[in-house]
Amino acid sequence: MFAAASLADVLPAVESSASFNFAGSDTLAAQLRAGAKADVYAAASSTYPEQLLAEGLLEEPRVFATNRLVLIVPRANPAGIEVVTDLVRPGIRLVLGAEGVPVGDYAREALERLEATRALENVVSEEDSVSGVVAKVALGDADAGFVYATDVKPVEDEVAVIELPSSAQPEIRYLIAVVAGADHPDEARAFVERVLSDEGRRALSAAGFGLP
C-alpha cells in the first residue's frame, strides 16, 4: 500500500496485515511512475491520482475522506502567532510542505486566499511530507507550520492549533485507487472496499477525517 503520510495512523487500523509505504503523495506518484510495485495508492490530493489515471497507471480513484488545513505553533508559541495573517511578520520561521507536496500546495493556496503570500518569505524549510512539518513545529525548531487537522492528535501536548478562516480553507479530498497491474488485485480491491465501508469510515472519522 502506497499511502500519504497523513494516513499513517489510520490505515493500519483498517488493515493491519498489509504493508505500508507512507510518504508524500507526490513522492509516491513518482515512485509509481518509475515502476515501483504497489497494489493500492491512497493520496492526500486529487491531482496525482487523476494524473496517474490518465497515464493508465491506476484504476478509477474514489474519494474516501476529506480533511482540513490548520496552522500549528509550538505550545509556548514563541513568535506570538494568533491568527494566520500574523505569518507575514518578518523573522517568523515558517515550515511548509514543498511545492508539489499536497499539504504544501494547500498551504500556498490558503495564503493566497488570505492575500498573505508575503509569509512565503519566512519559510525556513520545505518538507517532503506533512510529518516533517509536524516534527519541526512540535520540536520547536519552527514557529509555525501548515498541517492537516488529523496530524495534530499525536502531538497535541506540544502544539497549539490555529484554525483557518473558512474563506481560506482549501478543499482537501483523499483519493484511493487500485494500481493498474497490481500483483494482488483481489486483495487490493477488498482493501479499497474496506476503507470505503462503514468500518473504514468509523476509523477515519475517529482519526478526525471528514467523510465524503
Partner 1 sequence: MRRLFDVSLGLATALLLAFLVLPLVAIFTRLSPLELFAQLGDPVAVDALLVSLETSLVAHAFILLVGTPAAYLLATRRFRGRPLVLTLIELPLVLPPAVAGIALLSAFGASGLLGGALDVLGVSVALTPAAVVLAVVLVASPFYVRQAVASFEAVDRNLLDASRTLGVGPFTTFRRVALPLAGRGLGAGSTLAFARGLGEFGATIMFAGSIQGRTQTLPLAIYAQLGRDFDVALAVGALLVLVSLVVLLVAKLVPSWSDFTSIWPFRSVRSASS
Nearest to 49 by CA among 173, 133, 209: 173
Of the two residues 85 and 125, which places its CB atom closer to partner 1 in the complex? 125
Three-state DSSP class for residue 135? helix
Q: Taking a C-beta distance cutoff of 8 angstroms, is the pair 96, 108 a contact?
A: yes
Helices (H), 72-184: 102-113, 130-138
- 104 belongs to the binding site for partner 1 (CB under 8 A): no
Sheet holding 94-97, edge to edge: 123-127, 94-97, 144-148, 69-74, 159-163
Question: Residue 82: helix, strand or coil by DSSP?
Answer: coil
**Residues in CB range of 198: below 8 A, 6 or more apart:** none
CB of 168 to partner 1, least distance (A): 23
Site for partner 1 in 115-144 (CB under 8 A): 123-128, 132, 136, 139-142
Q: How far is the CB of 35 from partner 1 (least distance, A)?
A: 13
147 binds partner 1 (CB under 8 A): no
Shortest CB 140 distance to partner 1, Å: 3
Q: Which three cell numbers stand for residue 63?
A: 474519494
Of residues 54 through 93, those in contact with partner 1 by CB under 8 A are: 74, 93
Footprint on residues 19-38 left by partner 1 (CB under 8 A): 24, 26-27, 29-30
Residues near partner 1, by CB under 8 A: 24, 26-27, 29-30, 74, 93, 95, 98-101, 123-128, 132, 136, 139-142
